[in-house]
Amino acid sequence: MTDASHEIASAKLIAATAIEERTDDLIRLAKDIWNHPEPGFREHRTAKKTAEFMRATGLEPREGVAITGVVARLDTGRPGPHIAIMGELDSLIVPEHRLADPETGAAHVCGHNIQIGNMLAAAVGLSNPAILEKLNGSVTFMAVPAEEYIEIEYREGLRDSGDIEFLSGKQEFIRLGELDNVDISLLTHAEPSGETALRPGTSHNGMIAKNVRFLGRSAHAGGAPHLGVNALNAANLAMQGIALQRETFREEDRIRIHPIITRGGDAVSSVPANVTMEMFIRAASVKAMKDAETKVDQALRAGAMAIGAGVEISTSPGYMPSKFCEELNKIYDESVVELIGESALGRMPHRTSSTDMGDVSAIMPAMQSYAGGASGRTHSNEFEITDWDLDVVVAGKALAFTVMSLLSDDAKRGRKIIAEFEAPFTIAGYLAALREFRQRESWSG
Ligand SMILES: [Zn+2]
Ligand SMILES: [Zn+2]
């Protein structure tokens, strides 16, 4: 062993021991959040608990970033890369879950509570002068609101009142400049594989969201349908049009389009005149997202045209496609081998779901790892955390070790990752692209 690698090995031991000493506190907090789920931009209690833990660890958190975000920076005092370790604050809403909040239906069925746990575990491990003196650069611990793209009406209200511009937490963090000086981002998500594994993800679909309203004319549905214009029929035809476009979607684009009808009519004896739909259009690249969107809009107009109805299409940016940094994944793998062994290694294949970690991956090298200590279908009533030690403590150590690998030895490896990364977007370009997705169209033939 060289002197440098010997030094970093002993620093890792110090970090791991510090995390182990706080195991009970860390798991208690992750369980407390699990038991008190709060959906996006409403995570006030979760944020308060997170900030309290940061203060007890000697950090000085800033609160109220993008409504509920909490941010604390740890600086070595020497120049070098700036790494963000992120944890998501928000829950989902699945009232059927055994721990769902009786009033709001909120439940942590994506396991974001363990992310706050493993982010804080990494903070515990790195907040030590004996470790910081061996590193260059800085680390910011970010508790970020609202990853799940839900409660759109509530969030549009926040947008209309000027509290947010974009509907997710990381998008708002980027808009507010919180990631302006960040070079690399890391996050560890829960995964219901039940395996003792920490596997980085490779890529995710991005998405666009649409709210659609078909406008017809009401009339007696039995006595005088010839005097009406049936908006439900227009919506039906539009959905057929979308379905018939599926043969044009290429396998590699991984297109997923899933519309729902949120209002199908008002009274069965009256021709539906006001029918609303919501849908996500997901794809593996921005180009494929836009291509599929064009076809969806054609189908929506065609449905309206055939029936003689009108259609209003309101489009919002969803998330950018995720593409995680493989060089970063490989450095993380080294920590996984040190902590668990080769059996814990692997990669999550491309996922057709979407996350705003994709937006982060569009502007800097990013990693999203998956900790296997959960069971049941994600986003369902069956989801449970099964291995708190893996998801909080071991995952936290892996994040801390990865930071140490990137920032030790004059941060050589961190600097290399940054130098070699080709960002799909600058921050300004990303924000412009996001704003370009926002469209409103009123079509009436
Ligand atoms: Zn989720
Ligand atoms: Zn999630």
Please tell me the distance between residue 109's alpha carbon and the centre of ligand 1 in angstroms.
7
Ligand 1 centroid to Cα of residue 6, in Å, is 40
> Angle, nearest 10°, between helix axes 395-420 and 326-339?
150
- The answer to whether residues 404 and 278 touch, using CB atoms and an 8 Å cutoff, is no
Q: How far is the CA of 122 from the centre of ligand 2 (A)?
A: 19
* Structure tokens belonging to residue 232: 């439900």
Which structural domains are found in the chain, ordered by start?
A: 3-204+321-430 (3.40.630.10), 206-319 (3.30.70.360)
Ligand 1 center to 177 CA (angstroms):
25
Distance in Å, CA 118 to ligand 1 centroid: 17
CB 317, CB 166: distance < 8 Å: yes
Q: Reduce the DSSP state of residue 208 to 3 states and report it.
A: strand
How far, in Å, from the CA of 363 to the mean position of ligand 1?
22
pLDDT by residue, tens only, the chain of 445 residues? 677 788 889 999 999 999 999 999 999 999 999 999 999 999 999 999 999 999 999 999 999 999 999 999 999 999 999 999 999 999 999 999 999 999 999 999 999 999 999 999 999 999 999 999 999 999 999 999 999 999 988 998 999 999 999 999 999 999 999 999 999 999 999 999 999 999 999 999 999 999 999 999 999 999 999 999 999 999 999 999 999 999 999 999 999 999 999 999 999 999 999 999 999 999 999 999 999 999 999 999 999 999 999 999 999 999 999 999 999 999 999 999 999 999 999 999 999 999 999 999 999 999 999 999 999 999 999 999 999 999 999 999 999 999 999 999 999 999 999 999 999 999 999 999 999 999 999 999 7
CA distance 5 to 3: 6
CA of 318 to the centre of ligand 1 (A): 14
| C-beta of residue 333 within 8 angstroms of C-beta of residue 228 | no
DSSP code of 320?
Answer: P
Between the CA of 358 and the centroid of ligand 1 the distance, in Å, is 13
CA 111–ligand 2 middle distance (angstroms) = 7
Residues in CB range of 288: below 8 A, 6 or more apart: 250, 253, 254, 255
- CA dist., res. 276 & res. 11, Å (int): 58
The CA 195 to ligand 1 mean position distance, Å, reads 19
Strand order in the sheet with 69-75: 62-65, 69-75, 138-144, 82-88, 184-190, 366-371, 198-200
Distance between CA 94 and CA 108 in Å, rounded? 9
Task: Pick the ligand that lies closest to the CA of residue 190.
Answer: 2
- The ligand minimizing its distance to the Cα of 112 is 2
CA of 380 to the centre of ligand 1 (A): 10
Cα 207 to middle of ligand 1, angstroms: 14
Residue 299 backbone dihedrals phi, psi, to 5 degrees:
-65, -35
